[in-house]
Amino acid sequence: MRRFYLHPDNPQPRLLAQAAEAIAGGALAICPTDCSYVLLCGLTDKAAMERLRTLRQLAQDHPLSLLCRDLKQVSTYATLGTTEHRLLRATLPGPYTYLLPATREVPKRLQDRRRTVGIRISTHPVPQGLLALREEPLLCSTLQLPGDAFPLTDPEDMAERLGKLVDLLLDGGHADFHVSTVVAFEDGLPRVVRPGKGDLAPAGGGHR
């Protein structure tokens, strides 16, 4: 495993460029976000995606999320109604994952049975820096290993446990153990399907 020590607020451009190149070449990476660390890889990289699923022991129909650069990029990969667009504008970037109808740009293997896809935009400078160097979103999943009650938070633990299974560790220091709040829409109303770090109440979304 290669390990890059990145400043959490001002990540070094040289290291971000090397990381982006490695991911474009098929690397499976660990990356900090505004919530927990995540595993990530290229959107169309089927081999890296299968390694991610194997590492987390995820079923083939378990949805993965797209880590996007901004709302403009989101609109390429997900269909947004007025309510959805308003709520995403109020809460993103932030600690939320939204389940939205996928467009044709999303590979079918990434969609669930309802043809939806998870969408995230992180405030963290490291993934934002990576996405600024790419045309496509990144595929991501919480860095929570089988049998663990919480995501990994200590880069030393990540290196020790995953050194032979992951190609790249983007070390931004100790992380939050909270996951993102997952929100679905039913009849145009948001519904929290997994509580997490984000609170919809200040945005007027409420809970149902």
pLDDT interval class at 203 (50, 70, 90): low
Cα–Cα nearest to 93, from 171, 40, 35, 42 = 35
Q: How far apart are CA 107 and CA 41, in angstroms?
A: 14
Q: What is the CATH number of domain 2-199?
A: 3.90.870.10
Residue 26 contacts residue 47 (beta carbons within 8 Å): yes
Q: Domain spans of the chain?
A: 2-199
Over residues 32-52, mean pLDDT: 95
pLDDT interval class at 146 (50, 70, 90): very high
Q: How far apart are CA 40 and CA 45, in angstroms?
A: 10
Cα–Cα nearest to 168, from 27, 51, 16 = 27
Q: pLDDT digits over 157-195, tens only?
A: 999 999 999 999 999 999 888 999 999 998 888 999 999
Confidence (pLDDT) at 200:
77
Over residues 69-82, mean pLDDT: 94
Q: How far apart are CA 65 and CA 122, in angstroms?
A: 12
Cα–Cα nearest to 131, from 162, 170, 167, 178 = 170
In angstroms, the Cα distances linking 190 to 25, 56, 88, 197 are 37, 28, 11, 16
pLDDT > 70? residue 208: no
Write the DSSP assignment of 135-177 as a string of letters: SS-EEEEE---TT-SS----HHHHHHHHTTT-SEEEE-SS---
Q: pLDDT digits over 91-137, tens only?
A: 999 999 999 999 999 887 776 667 889 999 999 999 999 999 999 99
0.85 cut: is pTM over it? yes
Q: pLDDT digits over 25-41, tens only?
A: 999 999 999 999 999 99
* Conformational region of residue 89, where left means phi above 0, alpha means psi within -120 to 50, and beta covers everything else: alpha
Q: Which residue has the higher pLDDT, 188 or 6?
A: 6
The residue type at 11: P
Confidence (pLDDT) at 71:
95
pLDDT > 80? residue 202: no
Q: Which residue has the higher pLDDT, 208 or 2?
A: 2
Mean of all residue pLDDT scores within the chain? 92
Percentage of the chain lying above the pLDDT 70 cut: 95
Backbone φ and ψ for 194, nearest 5 degrees, come out as -145, 110
Residue 110 contacts residue 56 (beta carbons within 8 Å): no
